[in-house]
Amino acid sequence: MLTLQQLSDRAEIQDLITRYAYAIDDRNWDDLDHVFTPDAVIDYSEVGGPIGTLDETKAFLGQSMTNFPAYQHLSTTSEIIISGDTARARTILFNPMVMNHEGAERVFFIGLWYRDELVRTAQGWRIQHRREQKSWAYNQPDGVLP
């Protein structure tokens, strides 16, 4: 049976994963300051992005996400393994995206996993390392993602 602390930790981590999705979908890059540690490493390389710091990632998102007039991040089915003040999480992401391609609006879909390493901080749980692991894509325009 889970202890109250374990239940609380799991709920806080799940809220953190949700907070990331809303920051991205609301295009509020500064909200990511409340998701990641200041020294976080964020790896988007499997989906065509960089591996970078939090500030580099915010700059990348601010530039690259203008290519997509609409998108949503559905984060679900998290496996969370907590060990004291550190944790690992694996979360499924389903991500429909809209972009203008060859003069027409095109909707495509991406499935991936977030692979997170988390730490408990004075401000609560934060992601210290995130890697997006690509699983599949459907109706993706050529050259958009690897």
Threshold 0.85, pTM exceeds: yes
- Domains detected in the chain: 4-138 (3.10.450.50)
Residues with pLDDT less than 70, the chain: 143, 145-146
Cα–Cα–Cα angle for 30, 35, 36, rounded to 5 degrees: 95
pLDDT value at residue 146? 57
Length reported for the chain: 146
